[in-house]
Amino acid sequence: MLPKKGRKLPLWTGVLGGREIYAQTIAELLRKEHGDSHRAIKQLMRQTEASERTVKHWLSGQHGPDTVYFLRLVVSSPVIRAFVLGLIEGPAATPLTDPVDRISLARAREAYVAGEAAGGRPATGAQHNDPDRVPERDPINVPDRAELNERQRWFLDRVADGRCGANEIAAAWTVSLKTARRDIASLKAADLISYVGSRRKGRYRRTPG
């Protein structure tokens, strides 16, 4: 029997049932992936470019990320991406009964290209001056201080003494430049070092703390 006039049909349940449940679900997922320390807040700020206050609200479940922030999490967070895929394959999703036609595919590609053209301008700043910067498409595992490998500990000691980079790691430890750059990128992602100055004359410095 249908509800009386003026009432809504109970279509959405679970995480899709309302903003409060959505916010609590995202908070649990983010805490599961990052924890709830200050380091977790800084990591999420880097991933989304949201403010510290906004990220704290996400982690506390006060409200969930909206629009662009949520899309950035889908791209940068394996946990949130898996959550979205679960929704797509869940019982509430409308199943595809017909194959996707060429017109729909063409429109999807056009929409993607338009979005990239509208907002895909590269950011400027010190990170682009860094000669050892690893492309964002290459995932980086962020280590704890206790989980640093020997090369990374060696590099942190050398940074305090003078200019040192991926070439020095590669030469001293007989590893590829790609491996050396990933060591440095992990240190930067963990906020243990930063790159200051120009691309040619800049240097890495240890982050205070």
Query: How does pLDDT run across 39-94, given as a tens digit for each residue?
Result: 889 889 988 888 888 899 999 988 889 888 888 898 888 888 888 888 877 777 66
d(CA 7, CA 81): 34
Strand, coil or helix: 70: helix
Phi, psi (degrees; rounded to nearest 5) at 185:
-60, -35
Encoded tokens for 184: 């440095």
Is position 4 within any domain?
Answer: no
Total domain count, the chain? 2
Q: Does an H or E element contain 196, and which?
A: strand 193-196
d(CA 18, CA 24): 10
Task: Please say if the pLDDT value at position 123 is more than 70.
Answer: no
Domain extent, residue 76, equals 14-88
Encoded tokens for 18: 């309302």
- If asked whether residues 135 and 82 sit together in one domain, one would say no
* 7-28 residue pLDDT tens: 655 667 777 778 888 889 899 9
* 95-121 residue pLDDT tens: 666 665 667 667 777 776 676 666 544
pLDDT grade, residue 197 (50/70/90)? confident
One-letter identity of residue 42: K
CATH number at residue 191: 1.10.10.10
- If asked whether residues 138 and 196 sit together in one domain, one would say yes
d(CA 147, CA 144): 5
Is position 133 within any domain?
Answer: yes
| CA atoms lying within 13 Å on the CB side of residue 83 | 22
- If asked whether residues 142 and 194 sit together in one domain, one would say yes
Is position 188 within any domain?
Answer: yes
Cα 63 to Cα 27, 32, 35, 59, 132: the distances in Å are 9, 17, 17, 9, 37
Task: Please say if the pLDDT value at position 136 is more than 70.
Answer: no
- Residue at which a domain ends, from 28, 63, 88: 88
Is position 27 within any domain?
Answer: yes
Strand, coil or helix: 79: helix
Q: By the 8 A CB rule, do 143 and 195 touch?
A: no
CATH number at residue 65: 1.10.260
Is position 96 within any domain?
Answer: no
Is position 153 within any domain?
Answer: yes
Is position 144 within any domain?
Answer: yes
125 CA to centre of own chain: 18
